[in-house]
Every structure is written in structure tokens, then in C-alpha cells.
Amino acid sequence: QVQLVESGGGLVHAGDSLRLSCVASGLTCSNFAMGWFRQAPGKEREFVAAINWSADTTPYADSVKGRFSIFRDNAKNTVYLQMNNLKPEDTAVYYCAADLTGVVVTTLNWDYFGQGTQVTVSS
């Protein structure tokens, strides 16, 4: 059974930093892609960032470019999202995602999503 477990969310002030982590378990294949999505209250889930197995493909949403960084530790089946200079509009539930094809896409067409971790940024 595939599980994606996120951690690292919390309540911070504008300008602060947070690092989210997501540990994947139960994946029977290698070379899977991983990504982060977010959903703010009353809004649709949206793409934030993604990374392929070799970490040479890392697209970002325009709204987070230059502030967020995605990286992974394949030995630990873990993906991270370093979030700097956080803004109130970054407030959302952040979801980790995994795709067994290894292909990075910016749509919601991923194989698995985690349960999410709340990030709240106060002004």
C-alpha cells in the first residue's frame, strides 16, 4: 500500500521560512517522480513544484519561483519543499504527490497524493 506522509507545516509570519517533508512508502518501482501541490480555502488544488528521479527536471509555479526549492533524497524516498520569504497568499494545505511513470507534469494527473499539511502565513 502506497503512503505519502507530509510533515513540517505550521503557522509562521510573512517573510519566514518553512521546510516541508514527504516520505513515500510502499512504492514498488524506482524512478518515480514526486511533487507538491496546494489548496487554499475555496480554491482548487494547484501545482507548486515537482522533481523527477534524477532531479534534472524541476518545474515551479510562477507564483513560487525564486522563493521555493524542491529537492529529494532517493535513499530515503523523501522529497522536500524549502519555502522562503513566505507570503500570506501561500496559506494552504500542501499535498505531496507521486507518479510511477517518472514523468513530471504540472497538472493534477498524478498517481498518489498524501493527506496534506497545513501552512498558514500571517501578515
Residue-wise pLDDT tens digits, 35-65: 999 999 999 999 999 999 999 999 999 999 9
C-alpha cell at 99: 507518479
Neighbours of 107 (CB within 10 A): 6
C-alpha cell at 51: 522533481
The per-residue pLDDT for range 95-113, each reduced to its tens digit, is 999 999 989 999 999 999 9
54 burial class (0-12, 13-18, 19+ CB within 10 angstroms)?
Answer: exposed
Residue with cell 518501482: 29
CA distance 80 to 9: 12
